[in-house]
Amino acid sequence: MLSYKNGSLYLLLVLMAFSSCNEKQETVEKKPNIIYIMSDDHTTQGFGIYGSRLAGLNPTPVLDQIAKEGMIFENCFVHNAICTPSRAAIMTGQNSQANGVLDLEGILPIEKQYLPQEMKKLGYQTAIVGKWHLHEEPASFDYYHVLPGQGKYFNPEFRVQGEKPWPKNVVKTTGHSSDMIMDATLDYLKNNRDPNKPFFLMHHFKAPHDDFENAPRYDDYLADTFIPEPESLYDNGNNGSVAMRGKNDSLTRIIGSSVSHRNLIRNQAMNIYTKDSTIYRKYREAKDIRPEEYVKWEMSPEEKDYTSKVYQDYIKKYLRCVKGVDDNVKRLLDYLETEGLLENTIIVYTGDQGFMLGEHDYIDKRWMYDESMRMPFFVRYPKSIQAGSRTDAIINNTDFAPTLIELAGGETPDYMQGKSFKRILETGEEPADWQKETYYRYWMHMAHKHQNPAHFGIRTKDYKLIFFYGRYWVDTDDPNAEWNKDSWGNDFTNHTPPAWEFYDLKNDPKEMNNAYDDPAYQETISNLKDRLVKLRENLNETDANYPHIQKVIDAHWED
């Protein structure tokens, strides 16, 4: 029989053991914080880690270090390279027809703001800071501090929660947007989060979206440096098709905004589209001018010299905005480390799509060409992701939400079309049954004065097949058709020629040779068409609701 003294000692030992077990259990069950950082139009060419022609400039030392401490994805792709649809896909884990956001006018109502809703179910406090661009109030987040629409580079205003209804609660700031957005994020972390809950924070920079405006402290950055230029800026080889070049190159003067003077509607020399341009005025006053009347574009020696000067200005402004992003991410890392939060925080970095930095003499995005379609993506979390790891597994932006949810301890909801790649992150291995292709669709036919024809296609690790169907998603020949001409309308052309493009990415990674008519690839192309049909059906991305488009597809599928 134990004495009182011995009994007290036994009880003390039991309590200590129980306390130790609880501490271990709390340690095991403590969820990681998650910070999802996304910049606007930050393309893979604008990093060191992706080995582009700009890598030697060391444009992103901070971001490169984060990437090297985790896993880098080589084959991450957007499903639609334009801001609003990309963000909707990330928020919903769904493609455009499933979530209803096809273009820049699309909205994401509260009931479809799935990602923060799922994270809250898992016990996370949720917040979004910076660019939102999905029009409706981001009310599914516990906290928001977001730009109205695209927002301004300097002295941006933010929409916040408050006594007034959305969007009337406004906070005004003084400074550059990259700095102001990071200030807001740090304020949230310091003063607004619940320290007893894990947090899920989406931090969205406006930069480096065009038209590029850097903070003044970067005005001298790269000022005396000649920036490497893409060869295709001056010679586009056999890239493209009649769909976007026109018969005898008759459409090259109006399709695809350019660095050079090639595009008469929008080129970087104009910097912004002006209604005083001769071609616009002619179209407004007399709509009978036909593309075949344009003088064929040629890159003369004088034009090449001019284009180089314009390009150097263009790319330096872009990289100065990138520099501001990189430096501000350093501020975030310093705070996390000082507060002891870095070790238990998953850091994700990406862009909302890629961006053309002069490749093929294009600016902006929208295209299915890799510079536009490919997204930077890397994740740092030393507890479960091996430093220095890379993967060429194919992922796309509908896969982000499922992965973030599973990293937070949840399961992918059935309504999401994307797949979680958590296993790839944690093992470094691509499962045998992982997706072998990704789907792309750009809906905004000949819109926004960038003049890109509508198209869809399939990309694998080795090949790319694109079909330009050359029609609006609504039937503009129907007098009763309703569509938003603020985002879509123009007076230049309603329809463009349908055509196919095929690229062998292993032998032609810069997509300089459309090999669709090459007899050596016909079996490969036929296989890709079959896979494309199945992919569209599986994703409910067919044109069953758009018979005028399906008619074109049927008529030209075997061309």
Instruction: Write the single-letter amino acid at 45.
Output: Q
Q: What would the CATH number be for the domain defined by 30-225+311-427?
A: 3.40.720.10
pLDDT value of position 8: 53
Mean per-residue pLDDT, 484-512 = 83
For residue 484, the tally of other CB atoms under 10 A from its CB is: 13
Distance CA 189, CA 250 (A): 55
Distance CA 239, CA 141 (A): 44
Residues 344-398 pLDDT 10s: 999 999 999 999 999 999 999 999 999 999 999 999 999 999 999 999 999 999 9
pTM score of the predicted model: 0.92
Residues 15-53 pLDDT 10s: 555 555 444 444 446 899 999 999 999 999 999 999 999
Phi and psi of 467, rounded to 5°?
A: -120, 115
Which pLDDT band, with edges at 50, 70 and 90, does 321 fall under?
A: very high
pLDDT over threshold 80, residue 95 = yes
Distance CA 296, CA 281 (A): 20
Consecutive H or E run containing 68: helix 61-68
Percent of the chain at pLDDT exceeding 70: 88
pLDDT value of position 265: 82
Distance CA 77, CA 464 (A): 12
Distance CA 340, CA 342 (A): 6
pLDDT value of position 293: 60
Residues 175-224 pLDDT 10s: 999 999 999 999 999 999 999 999 999 999 999 999 999 999 999 999 99
pLDDT value of position 247: 86
Of 3 and 341, more confident = 341
Of 272 and 61, more confident = 61
pLDDT value of position 474: 86
- Domain regions of the chain by residue span: 30-225+311-427
pLDDT over threshold 60, residue 84 = yes
Which pLDDT band, with edges at 50, 70 and 90, does 141 fall under?
A: very high
Enumerate the H helices of 165-300 as residue ranges: 177-187, 242-245, 278-285
Residues 430-483 pLDDT 10s: 999 999 999 999 999 988 878 899 999 999 999 999 999 999 888 878 877 776
Which pLDDT band, with edges at 50, 70 and 90, does 129 fall under?
A: very high
Consecutive H or E run containing 396: strand 389-396
Nearest to 216 by CA among 92, 317, 343, 328: 317
CA 452 to chain centroid, in Å, comes to: 17
Lowest mean pLDDT, pick from 29-33, 167-171, 242-246, 478-482: 478-482
pLDDT over threshold 60, residue 270 = yes
For tokens 């979206």, name the residue: 209
Residues in contact with 286: Cβ distance below 8 Å, sequence separation at least 6, in sequence order: none
What average pLDDT does the chain have? 91
Percent of the chain at pLDDT exceeding 90: 80
